[in-house]
Structure 1
Amino acid sequence: MLSSVLREGPPAGPSRPEFWRSPLRGPWLTSVLGAVLLAGITVLFVTGLLSYAAYNPDLAPSNDQTPDKGWLGFYLFPWPTSPYWLYRLTQGIHVTLGIVLIPVLLAKLWSVIPRLFAWPPVKSLSQAFERLSLLLLVGGALFVFATGVLNIQLDYIFPGSFYVLHFYGSWVFIGAFVVHVAFRIPLVVRTLRARSMGKELRTPISRTKPEPADETGLVSPRPAEPTMSRRGALGMVGAGSLVLLGVTAGQSVGGWLRGTALLAPRGQDPGPGPNGFQINKTAAVVGIRARDIGHQWRLVVRGGGRERTLTRDQVLALPQHGAALPIACVEGWSTSDQEWSGVRLADLAALVGFSGPPPGVFVESVQRSGAFRSAALRDNQVRDPRSLLALRVNGADLSPDHGYPARVIVPANPGVHNTKWVTRLTFGERV
């Protein structure tokens, strides 16, 4: 019965080659879009790896939102504190480029859609493997881009699971992507060499012709009359990417461009004053109560078998230092440099007996709900003289939403690891 169905040919609908009639589809257009994606996705993957490394996930369970990563964490390294804007740069590129590539990705999927409905679905073992890799490639791309955009726009729509979903989804996608590139790169190179980019971009609609039929199955056997040139198609995709760049990049670049970040929910300044810069989560959202951060608040500093308990006035009485540092969030937004002042983490380590180079520290918050209620910092982060337990910002006390009575601020640190509403610091112990 199966053999008779195959002999009768594809059923009516998208499985028939003549169903797809655009005269623009063909190896050349697909290769151009593929080359752009090859460069863009490579940068996305590298900056994504750097973003993951910045969390120091191998330092403590509290830092690792992706348990059982195994050998997928082979490349991890101690995240540096210099340059202080490193995470702001890498994560800003990661998020902005990911959004900018969406029109290119959609255009690429449009250009190869006949292949997704190729008939018969499976005709050999090698074709079955190719179809499976294509499924993983397309599904992985849509999944990774969709989860990233949803997390940016809706803020923790995947409570406790976004990092796991995005991490493993990215590895599945990049695996399929590498296999696909390995098989297709010779065809892409031949196709781009055989057809002049400059000549194609000078070709108007009136002279736009279908590409010669070949083994890819992308060229329609019954093409319709063109309503757009390939120049126009690429221009439309490029314009879409430029628009997305214009309404996204400001959240990372800052300055007057911050006002153009229309697609960034936290891309606008929340108001005037010393505390008038973006926040990730408010005190109310994470369950901070007035008594948690009022006069009864205490800072507990532990380590080396010692413990000190300090009021906020006692912390203020310690030597105060300043640092100009931004806040940079995994969702891509960042602030300009803010003037923080407080006690160096290294000085707090000395309070409990660490007179030499200080060890790492485990930071705990009074936060009652939500992710990242604690974080572990490496010894190199504690040693940096710009790493502070901040009490003030831009000359004023921290607001409750910015972490009053005290918060951590560390150069080049992901925003969620600059823990707010700090109540306990434990030096030199894995927690």
Structure 2
Amino acid sequence: MLRRGPLREGTFTSALHEPRTAVVIGRWLGAALLTCFLTGLLSHVLQQPPTWLRDHLPSRPVNGYRVTQGLHVISGIAAIPLLGAKLWTVYPKLFEWPPARSVLHALERLSIAILVAAMLLEVFTGLLNTLQWYPWPFPFRQTHFWLGWLAVGGLLLHVAAKAPLIARHWRRVRPGLAQRRAFLTAVTASVGVVTLTTAGQTVPWLRALDLFAPRRPDLGPQGLPINRTAVQAGTSTVPADWQLTVDGPRPLRLSLAELAQLPQTTAELPISCVEGWSASAHWTGVRVRDLLDLAGAPADARLQITSLEKDGPYRVVEMPATYARDPLTLLALRVNGQVLDPDHGYPARIIAPNRPGVLQTKWVTRIELI
């Protein structure tokens, strides 16, 4: 059948709509997506571990979550121009005629449609998450997690289906087109620019170039950024008779003054957020394991920590024994030598190594044994 209009034969004339260019871009995009997927998987496990793994999560290295979540966001942002370039290179294939030459061809095209849709949703919802903007009715984290599996599964299926074509064009066997070199140089430059101007929210030595990231890690109360203020959490006014309750064989009720009289520990630890930013600070407070020893808690006790905030998905969080017994896990009372600002969790907050920021509970009022 003769096609008419903008999709007729000969419409797509660029020499770059060819397999070699698609394979080169595909290699870069595949590396970015697999890095993003694997680091995102680690982030998800640390934030919401399966029951069988819950009590075996490591509290070290101290900066483990900072590095993996930073890589997750960096590789996800880098994947955006790569995905655009890849789709531009192959989009004439979307208008092949006839649309399906066989059942197998129809299934292949369906798998590509699912792959493209999953990747577009994954990278753009992830980008909007870094801005804390959620203009959709579905829960972001769970949807993002399962879209990641769908995208990677579709990617592996696509690579398997196109393996012979990829193998033929994996290595350059003849001098490259000048157009291709210019196009690949432009794509490389685009990836470099978006990476260098956003990665500074995680990488300290790139902070001077942090022009377009949603956070600067050195801006905020007491020089640290925040996602949720005390006003938003309803904790801007702390009861005058506030006390920390620690359950155990020997229950404790400690005022702020009594906590300040206990042995104090100072540790340099990062706050690392799921949105990709991180910042280090010097935190001072009581080691959580010292509080547990005073309360007579067993060494393998898992904790439930409750905040003063009225609602929110992380008002109550669990802490495995590996974190609770780590000597760097603190009930912090001060940051960088100053009493905690209300936005940073006054009168007391949790700070622990290798732990997502959403689980570093602010405005702590109760620690219970599970």
1:261 matched residue in structure 2: 210
**d(CA) in 2 for partners of 1:348 and 1:259?**
41
1:32 matched residue in structure 2: 24
Gaps of 5+ in 1: 1-7, 60-73, 205-228
C-alpha change, 1:323 and 1:268, in structure 2 (3 Å) is: closer
Q: What is the CA-CA distance between 1:158 and the residue it aligns to?
A: 5.7
1:426 matched residue in structure 2: 368
Q: What is the CA-CA distance between 1:112 and the residue it aligns to?
A: 0.8
Deviations 1:111-159 (A, max 9, x none): 1101112222233211121111001110000000010000102355568
1:417 aligned to 328, 350, 359, which one?
Answer: 359
1:108-187 superposed matches below 5 A: 108-155=86-133, 161-187=139-165
C-alpha change, 1:168 and 1:75, in structure 2 (3 Å) is: farther
2:268 matched residue in structure 1: 324
Deviations 1:13-36 (A, max 9, x none): 33x342212122100000101111
C-alpha change, 1:77 and 1:130, in structure 2 (3 Å) is: farther
Gaps of 5+ in 2: none
| 3-state SS of paired residue (1:420) | coil
Instruction: Work out which of the two has the higher radius of gyration on C-alpha atoms and give 1 or 2.
Output: 1
**d(CA) in 1 for partners of 2:240 and 2:53?**
45
Q: Is the 8 Å Cα contact of residues 269 and 276 (structure 1) preserved in structure 2?
A: yes
C-alpha change, 1:38 and 1:265, in structure 2 (3 Å) is: closer
Does residue 407 in structure 1 map to residue 349 in structure 2? yes
C-alpha change, 1:50 and 1:386, in structure 2 (3 Å) is: same
C-alpha change, 1:294 and 1:264, in structure 2 (3 Å) is: farther
**d(CA) in 2 for partners of 1:311 and 1:410?**
22
**d(CA) in 1 for partners of 2:215 and 2:350?**
21
Which shifted more, 149-158 or 39-48?
Answer: 149-158
**d(CA) in 1 for partners of 2:335 and 2:273?**
18
| 3-state SS of paired residue (1:364) | strand
| 3-state SS of paired residue (1:295) | coil
2:180 aligned to 230, 248, 252, which one?
Answer: 230
| 3-state SS of paired residue (1:343) | strand
**d(CA) in 1 for partners of 2:258 and 2:54?**
38
1:299 matched residue in structure 2: 244
In the TM superposition, structure 1's runs of 4+ consecutive aligned residues that sit over 4 Å from their partners are: 74-77, 155-160
1:239 matched residue in structure 2: 189
**d(CA) in 1 for partners of 2:33 and 2:328?**
34
Deviations 1:12-62 (A, max 9, x none): 333x34221212210000010111112221211111111111114325xxx
C-alpha change, 1:238 and 1:282, in structure 2 (3 Å) is: same
**CA RMSD of the aligned region, Å?**
2.1
Q: What is the CA-CA distance between 1:195 and the residue it aligns to?
A: 2.8
Q: What is the CA-CA distance between 1:75 and the residue it aligns to?
A: 8.2
TM-score under structure 1 normalisation?
0.81
Deviations 1:288-339 (A, max 9, x none): 231xx242322111135x5322211122122211211011111110003x11
Q: Is the 8 Å Cα contact of residues 33 and 108 (structure 1) preserved in structure 2?
A: yes
| 3-state SS of paired residue (1:264) | coil
| 3-state SS of paired residue (1:101) | helix
C-alpha change, 1:35 and 1:105, in structure 2 (3 Å) is: same
Does residue 393 in structure 1 map to residue 335 in structure 2? yes
2:283 matched residue in structure 1: 340
1:59-78 superposed matches below 5 A: 59=51, 78=56
TM-score under structure 2 normalisation?
0.94
